[in-house]
């Protein structure tokens, strides 16, 4: 019997008596379920389940143009990796030490050839130790996985060289630096005159003692003027008049600079597949500790990050510092040395139990470690 929308019987029909169980009771149904009741509901539920399964499967297959940053392992520069010392030194006295000077790392999920899924992005967004960033902020479009690996490996080698140079200079050893042309831009005004591998020995007649001399000599010119470069190429001295240009408000000649060092001491690293430039500060502290008597840390576990520049001994900014803070704490560190230029990313993201010290130079980093070792760290600067 059909019902009117308001539940009253249709016009002209006799009223139906209520069942003994009450007005909402349903009359017993005899025979197989009809398609208008249980069959349709079961079918709809089954379809819904299949849709959810399909969406779930699709979300694990469809890649998104993001990368997920996660805390990576922390490694003690004074310790061992897979049973071998992190580095070996020959040609200078070394001293036993204790404690830990950890360099911290970031695991990058995603990138060239590897897309993260919806679920991975959602999980990362809910985890304070992780971050989701656009892929092209970390990897330029068109770059391959092999190119990324080659670049990060080269950055790690440069980081090691800068750290060795700083540690040796701080311990009284003579270090000679050579400024090289690492790469020439295709559209450089004097691309035909310059070659990768050239050593720049003088700028406008002034002897080059570091990259700052080259940059200062070039920027002293107005865009369009020429600068006199003295180069050492294949053992021969070459004189070049390189035309300058404007690049973002600075005068340049369109080359990327690199450095090579002559060391009186041999240092060999054993780091596995770790890449990037951000371990420079902790490398330099670890080497300095090994080359000087006593334990710089006083037996404490101190973690940190930051690039290191030989010319200025300045600590430079790095990426993924929030993940490195969590990685340091997970490794047991209670102190963290953070580049001053990363402080805005540190505030509000320090895990419980970790104290951050702001550093801007090797001297400040060394002083911080000594103060922590002496239990006189209350006055050390932090990120605010």
pLDDT tens profile 350-369: 999 999 999 999 999 999 99
Q: Is 157 or 232 the better-scoring residue by pLDDT?
A: 232
Asked if the model's pLDDT at residue 192 lies above 50, the reply is yes
Residue range 264-288: mean pLDDT, rounded: 92
- Determine the Cα–Cα distance for residues 268 and 222; give it in Å rounded to an integer: 43
CA distances from 220 to 71, 185, 213, 348, 374 (A): 43, 21, 11, 42, 46
pLDDT at 16: 36
- Which run of H or of E encompasses 321? helix 321-330
Superfamily of domain 176-262: PDZ domain (2.30.42.10)
Report the C-alpha gap between 176 and 208 in whole angstroms.
11
In this chain, the answer to whether the domains covering 69-109+156-173+263-384 and 176-262 adopt an identical fold is no
Q: Give the H/E segment covering residue 263.
A: none
Per-residue pLDDT band for 22 (boundaries 50, 70, 90) equals very low
Cα–Cα distance between 89 and 9 in angstroms, integer? 98
Stretch 78-87: mean pLDDT = 91
Tell me, what's the pLDDT at 56? 52
Domain boundaries, the chain: 69-109+156-173+263-384, 176-262
Could you give the CA distance from residue 305 to residue 327 in angstroms, rounded to a whole number? 11
Mean pLDDT, all residues of the chain: 85
Q: Residue 138 — very low, low, confident or very high, per pLDDT cuts 50/70/90? A: confident
Q: What is the Cα–Cα distance from 133 to 318, expressed in whole angstroms? A: 15
What are the backbone dihedrals phi and psi of residue 63, each rounded to the nearest 5 degrees, phi first? -85, 145
CA separation for the pair 56, 149 (Å, rounded): 32
- pLDDT > 80? residue 327: yes
How far apart, in whole angstroms, are the C-alpha atoms of residue 304 and residue 306? 7
Return the pLDDT at 48: 53
Question: Comparing C-alpha atoms, which of 135, 141, 131 is closest to residue 69?
Answer: 131
How much is the average pLDDT of 198-227?
96
pLDDT attached to residue 261: 95
Instruction: Taking residues 198-218, report their average pLDDT.
Output: 95
Q: How confident is the model at residue 64 (pLDDT cuts 50, 70, 90)?
A: confident
What pLDDT, on a 0 to 100 scale, did the predictor assign at position 44? 53
CATH topology of domain 69-109+156-173+263-384: Ribosomal Protein S5; domain 2 (3.30.230)
The pLDDT, as a whole number, for residue 14 is: 36
DSSP string, 284-310: HHHHHHHHSSS-TTTT-EEEE--EE-T
pLDDT, residue 147, reads 82
pLDDT above 90 coverage of the chain, percent: 69
Residue 183 pLDDT greater than 50, yes or no:
yes
303-318, pLDDT tens digit by residue? Answer: 999 999 999 999 999 9
């Amino acid at each position: 019997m059909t019902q009117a929308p308001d539940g009253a019987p249709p016009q002209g029909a006799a009223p139906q008596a209520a069942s003994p169980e009450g007005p909402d009771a349903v009359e017993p149904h005899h025979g197989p379920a009809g398609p208008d009741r249980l069959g349709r509901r079961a079918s709809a539920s089954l379809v819904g389940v299949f849709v959810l399964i399909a969406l779930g499967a699709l979300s694990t297959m469809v890649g998104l143009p993001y990368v997920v940053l996660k805390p990576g392992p922390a490694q003690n520069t004074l310790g061992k990796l897979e049973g071998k010392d992190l580095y070996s030194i020959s040609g200078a006295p070394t001293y036993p030490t204790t404690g830990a000077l950890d360099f911290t790392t970031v695991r990058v999920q995603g990138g060239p050839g590897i897309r993260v899924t919806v679920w991975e992005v959602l999980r990362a967004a809910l985890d304070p130790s992780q971050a989701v960033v656009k892929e092209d902020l970390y990897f330029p479009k068109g770059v391959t996985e092999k190119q990324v690996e080659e670049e990060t490996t080269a950055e790690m080698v440069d980081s090691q060289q800068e750290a060795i140079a700083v540690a040796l200079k701080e311990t009284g050893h003579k270090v000679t630096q050579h400024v090289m042309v690492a790469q020439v831009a295709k559209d450089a005004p004097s691309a035909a005159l310059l070659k990768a591998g050239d050593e720049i020995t003088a700028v406008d007649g002034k002897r080059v003692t570091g990259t700052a001399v080259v940059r200062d000599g070039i920027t002293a010119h107005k865009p369009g003027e020429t600068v006199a470069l003295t180069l050492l190429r294949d053992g021969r001295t070459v004189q070049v008049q390189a035309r300058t240009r404007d690049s973002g408000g600075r005068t340049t000649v369109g080359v990327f600079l690199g450095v090579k060092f002559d060391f009186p001491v041999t240092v060999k690293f054993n780091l596995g597949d770790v890449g990037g430039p951000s371990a420079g500060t902790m490398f330099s502290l670890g080497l300095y500790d090994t080359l000087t008597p006593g334990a710089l840390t006083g037996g404490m576990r101190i973690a940190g990050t930051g690039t290191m520049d030989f010319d200025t001994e300045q600590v430079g900014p790095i990426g993924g510092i929030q993940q490195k803070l969590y990685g340091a704490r997970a490794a047991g560190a209670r102190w963290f040395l953070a580049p001053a230029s990363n402080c805005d990313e540190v505030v509000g993201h320090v895990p419980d139990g970790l104290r951050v010290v702001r550093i801007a130079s090797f001297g400040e980093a060394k002083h911080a470690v000594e103060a922590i070792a002496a239990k006189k760290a209350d006055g050390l600067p932090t990120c605010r």
